[in-house]
């Protein structure tokens, strides 16, 4: 994170960016995506939050840290929750895996997560300043969806500078690209907890164009690796639910739509 200014702006322009999100402590899928040629060739890898809250938290953070200055980590709501729990603060417990994951973190892991910023802006060739966030630019757990209303988008972009015409968000685990009143909005989907299809979803910003990608992996092998390498008590059930994408995109959209400001 040393290349960031005090305003969360990377200090120099980059040519290409691979965008990952919502790894949620799943190492085998992260490794498969990082091995993609286009990801390996990208000048910068940005991960838009929720890195470690899952069955392999320390392994994932160590893998990301090993990438050095090639990776830029944005804070997600789950990252913030992990830090609070690891420091003994009283917060609402979002699920079973988060307090377990927090207890696995070393002081270095906690310090890494505590230093993350939200949002972060990067000047990308062909795009200008691109804002990377988790939920929305103003809130790391706010929900916007591919079919959110223009009014909803206008509200969450209300304080965004005019020169930011590209916004990349995560949080909802479903990939999409859409225009919102001339702004390009991208969600790369999820690495570790995909909704709607199997494998790791990611995006590539290169030469002014955006492409959504999905890395197909051996799901049985990924589940087996997580079960073998994690000590989370209900890791088998967790992996069968999330890595196998038991929830469809339709189910996820129905659940999330209650949180994006639309009439009930």
Given pLDDT bands bounded at 50, 70 and 90, which one contains residue 11?
low
Q: Which contacts qualify for 100-105: CB closer than 8 Å, 24 or more apart?
A: 100/232, 100/233, 101/25, 101/52, 101/53, 101/54, 101/55, 101/57, 101/232, 104/57, 104/58, 105/52, 105/57, 105/58, 105/61
DSSP E strands in 49-105: the ranges are 71-73
Mean pLDDT of the 196-208 span: 96
Mean pLDDT of the 125-134 span: 96
Mean pLDDT of the 187-195 span: 97
- What pLDDT is attached to residue 8? 52
Does residue 6 have a pLDDT over 90?
Answer: no
Given pLDDT bands bounded at 50, 70 and 90, which one contains residue 10?
low
Q: Is 264 exposed, middle or buried (0-12, 13-18, 19+ CB in 10 A)?
A: exposed
Given pLDDT bands bounded at 50, 70 and 90, which one contains residue 264?
low
For 251, the enclosing helix (H) or strand (E) is helix 249-256
- What pLDDT is attached to residue 4? 40
Q: How many CB atoms lie within 10 A of CB 34?
A: 21
Q: Do residues 139 and 169 lie in contact, with contact meaning Cβ atoms separated by under 8 Å? A: no
- What pLDDT is attached to residue 195? 96
Q: What is the pTM of this model?
A: 0.94
Task: Judge if the upstream peptide bond of residue 119 is cis by omega within 30 degrees of 0.
Answer: yes
Taking the C-alpha atoms of residue 63 and residue 133, their distance in angstroms, rounded to an integer, is 21
- What pLDDT is attached to residue 112? 97
């Amino acid at each position: 994170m040393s290349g960031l200014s005090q305003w969360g702006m990377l200090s120099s322009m980059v040519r290409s960016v691979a965008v990952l999100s919502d790894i949620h402590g799943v190492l085998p899928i992260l490794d498969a995506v990082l091995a993609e040629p286009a990801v390996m060739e990208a000048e910068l890898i940005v991960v838009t939050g929720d890195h470690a809250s899952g069955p392999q938290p320390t392994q994932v953070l160590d893998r990301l840290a090993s990438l050095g200055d090639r990776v830029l980590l944005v804070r997600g709501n789950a990252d913030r929750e992990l830090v609070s729990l690891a420091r003994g603060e009283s917060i609402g417990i979002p699920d079973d895996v988060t307090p377990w994951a927090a207890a696995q973190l070393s002081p270095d892991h906690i310090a890494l997560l505590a230093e993350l910023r939200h949002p972060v802006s990067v000047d990308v060739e062909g795009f200008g300043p691109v804002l990377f966030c988790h939920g929305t630019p103003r809130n790391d757990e706010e929900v916007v969806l591919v079919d959110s209303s223009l009014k909803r988008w206008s509200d969450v972009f209300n304080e965004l500078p005019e020169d930011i015409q590209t916004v990349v968000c995560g949080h909802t685990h479903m990939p999409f690209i859409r225009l919102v009143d001339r702004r390009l909005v991208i969600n790369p989907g999820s690495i570790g907890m995909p909704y709607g299809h199997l494998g790791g979803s990611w995006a590539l910003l290169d030469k002014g164009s955006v492409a959504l990608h999905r890395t197909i992996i051996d799901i049985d092998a990924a589940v087996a690796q997580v079960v073998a390498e994690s000590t989370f008590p209900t890791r088998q059930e967790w992996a069968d639910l999330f890595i196998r994408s038991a929830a469809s995109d339709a189910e996820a959209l129905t659940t999330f739509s209650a949180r994006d400001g639309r009439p009930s």
